[in-house]
Amino acid sequence: MEARRIDSGKIAEVSHGLERTEVERREKVFSVTDLSVAYSGNVALEGVNLDVHKQTVTAFIGPSGCGKSTFIRCFNRMNDLVPSARVSGTVLYHGEDLYARDVDSVEIRRRIGMVFQKPNPFPKSIYDNIAFGPRVLSMEGSLDERVEQALRRAALWDEVKDRLKDGALGLSGGQQQRLCIARALAVEPDVILMDEPASALDPISTTRIEDLMHELKRDYTIIIVTHNMQQAARVADMTAFFSVIVDEDGGGRRGVLVEYDSTTKIFTTPSDKRTEDYVTGRFG
């Protein structure tokens, strides 16, 4: 049966993202197999399988409570910081088990950076914010150079170059978020995770962040969580739609991966009805 074509005029412009074949030609950065996460025994996310490819933008979308934030935190082992969290299944990073016993999670986080929903600059100067990562990781090379290049890559250099010693908390919301991106870039990551990076920002700042993502995708692999479908349509090459399953008896809620495909396909001819319902705004 031919998949019905949704009137794509109903959703915002789908980006000129990569075709699926092109994406899959690239090296696999992450390979997730049967991943589940439970907090104190309550399953939050179940049975996820997907691959993330190099130098692409992958978006996780879905209604609130579907586990997308929990999932993205599996990629840099931030769930380790939550004592009640249990992660099962496999996550391969460039072919190696990310959760193997003897893996150094500190080094993981250097390579797989994260930007949070609410910008969280440290209560220090702009310079010290960017320099924090290189300092604690004892990175070699000129610190001044690193700071400048990180700020340039985050499209913030021109705005702050004359006031690097000023407090970071004095910046606007959009600037603070770009500062957080620069901070992550300064430690030479390979992947950047973004958990709803623009949801706390105004539309103009949001656009700047999205433009930045297009720039950064040339060098980095980017995974973003967003509740804004139009944003996913604008920036992502591949999109994964998550949804919630409610247990009839227990009433517990579990997140599951419903569909994972190129953005164009998800937003124009989704295979699963739930995806179609979400994407056309019928729920969520």
Partner 1 sequence: MTSLATPVSIQGDRPRRLWRNRLFTLAMLLCMLVAFGTLAVLLVDTLITGWPAISSQLLTGLPSTVPAEAGARPAILATLYLGLVVLLFSVPIGVMTAIYLEEYANRERWWNRAIEVNIQNLAAVPAIVYGILGLAFIVRGIGVGRVVLAGGLILTLVVLPTVVVSSREAIRSVPDSIRQGAFALGATKWQVVWRQVLPASIPGIATGSILALSRAVGETAPLIMVGAITYVAFNPTLFGPYTALPVQIYNWTKQPDTDFQTLAAAGAIVLLVIVLSMNAVAIFLRNRYRKQW
Partner 2 sequence: MTTADVTAPRPATTILPRKRIRWGEQVVYGALFVAAAISVLTTVGIVLSLVLPALDFFREVSPVDFFTGTTWAPLFLDARFGVLPLVVGTLMISFYSALVAFPLGVGVAIYLSEYAAPRATAFLKPILEILAAIPTVVLGYFALTFVTPFLRNQLGVQVEIFNALAASLVLGVMLIPTIATLSEDAMAAVPRDLRDGGYALGADKLQVSMKIVVPAAVSGIIAAFVLGFSRAVGETMIVLIAAGQLAQITFDPRETIETITAFIGATGNGDVPTGSIEYKTIFAVGLTLFVMTLVMNLISIRLVRKYREVYE
Sheet holding 191-195, edge to edge: 96-97, 85-93, 28-39, 42-53, 253-262, 238-246, 57-61, 221-225, 191-195, 112-115
Q: Contacting partner 2 (CB under 8 A), which of 23, 150, 194, 222?
A: 150
Q: Please, what is the minimum distance in Å from the beta carbon of residue 83 to partner 1? A: 6
Give the Cα separation of 9 and 12 in Å (integer): 7
Residue with tokens 């930045």: 212
Interacting residue ranges for partner 1, rule: CB under 8 A: 76, 78, 81, 83, 106-110, 113-114, 116, 118, 120-123, 132-133, 136-137, 180, 183-184, 187
Give the Cα separation of 132 and 210 in Å (integer): 25
Q: Please, what is the minimum distance in Å from the beta carbon of residue 60 to partner 1? A: 17
Binding string, 48-77, against partner 2, x = CB under 8 A?
------x-----------------------
- Judged by beta carbon distances under 5 to 8 A according to partner kind, the member of partner 1, partner 2, none in contact with residue 116 is partner 1
Q: Measured from the CB atom, is 220 or 241 closer to partner 1? A: 220
Q: Please, what is the minimum distance in Å from the beta carbon of residue 166 to partner 1? A: 16
Give the Cα separation of 126 and 133 in Å (integer): 13
Which residue, 159, 164, 171, 170, is CA-closest to 145? 164
Q: Measured from the CB atom, is 90 or 120 closer to partner 1? A: 120
Q: Please, what is the minimum distance in Å from the beta carbon of residue 253 to partner 1? A: 24
- Judged by beta carbon distances under 5 to 8 A according to partner kind, the member of partner 2, partner 1, none in contact with residue 118 is partner 1
Single-letter code of the amino acid located at 161:
K
Query: Does the footprint of partner 2 cover residue 142 (CB under 8 A)?
Result: yes
Single-letter code of the amino acid located at 218:
R
- Judged by beta carbon distances under 5 to 8 A according to partner kind, the member of partner 2, partner 1, none in contact with residue 219 is partner 2
Tell which phi-psi region holds residue 196, choosing left (phi > 0), alpha (psi between -120 and 50) or beta.
Answer: left
